[in-house]
């Protein structure tokens, strides 16, 4: 006589089975969303990250009591660069075309960048020497030029205080010439030396502005 084997399914076994099914379903769904359709959702996210709010400008002229024009409306345009992973890949090609269009239209690129070329120099809005030094230090710190200096000083003196470190770093920052500062930023912003100095600086202005946003 052959006896059939009996299988006892306990509540614990059922719970483990259900949990395995649930986690397998979730893992499969995550794989589908992140790997299979990841690029599509990434593009949707980039598109939704920018919200445009139109604001209609007033129209018409402002006249005085005698009918003379005090102010009038003129049409203007604003060029907006939407930074995404995809747009960054063609940044230099895109901006080269933008610069070409601006030049052909006799339009100027907004330029508040304090680091100038031909000759290399800093131009800060102050006649006070001490203020200009502080502005130069801030300019270089804002762009991370202090980081390597701090690491070098700390490696030589591990017990240095924060105040002492700041003083030493600031002294070293002031030793970096405008030309060397320019070269460091060219490297930092991955700008090819194949471009002219003028082109490099134009790219630098845009890159620097994007890094401040």
* pLDDT for the residue 99: 94
Please list the residues that pair with 71 across neighbouring strands. 62
Structure tokens at 4: 């059939």
- Which of 188, 20, 134 has the alpha carbon at shortest distance from 204? 188
pTM, full prediction: 0.67
- Which residue carries 């508040």 as its tokens? 112
Give residue limits of the domains in the chain. 11-48, 85-212
Look up residue 194 and give its DSSP letter: T
Write the DSSP string, 40-108: HHHHHHHHHT------PPP-S-EE-TT--EEE-------------HHHHHTHHHHHHHHHHHHHHTT--
Mean pLDDT of 103-124: 93
Percentage of the chain surpassing pLDDT 90? 53
pLDDT tens sequence across 4-44: 555 556 777 888 888 888 888 888 888 777 776 666 666 66
pLDDT tens sequence across 62-107: 878 887 887 777 766 677 777 787 888 899 999 999 999 999 988 8
């Amino acid at each position: 006589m052959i006896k059939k084997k009996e299988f006892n399914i306990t509540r614990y076994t059922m719970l483990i089975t259900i949990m395995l099914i649930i986690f397998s379903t979730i893992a499969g769904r995550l794989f589908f969303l992140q790997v299979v359709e990841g690029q599509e959702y990434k593009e949707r996210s980039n598109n939704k990250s920018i919200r445009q709010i139109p604001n209609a400008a007033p129209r018409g002229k402002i006249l005085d009591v005698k009918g003379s024009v005090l102010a009038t409306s003129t049409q203007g345009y604003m060029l907006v660069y939407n930074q995404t992973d995809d747009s960054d890949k063609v940044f230099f090609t895109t901006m080269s075309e933008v610069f070409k269009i601006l030049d052909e239209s006799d339009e100027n690129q907004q330029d508040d960048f304090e680091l100038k070329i031909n000759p290399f120099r800093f131009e800060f809005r102050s006649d006070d020497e001490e203020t200009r030094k502080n502005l130069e230090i801030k300019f270089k710190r804002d762009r991370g030029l202090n980081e390597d200096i701090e690491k070098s000083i700390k490696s030589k003196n591990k017990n240095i205080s924060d105040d002492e470190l700041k003083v030493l770093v600031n002294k070293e920052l002031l030793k970096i010439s405008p030309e060397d500062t320019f070269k460091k930023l060219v490297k930092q912003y991955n700008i090819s030396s194949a471009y002219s100095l003028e082109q490099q600086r134009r790219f630098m202005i845009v890159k620097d502005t994007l890094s401040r946003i």
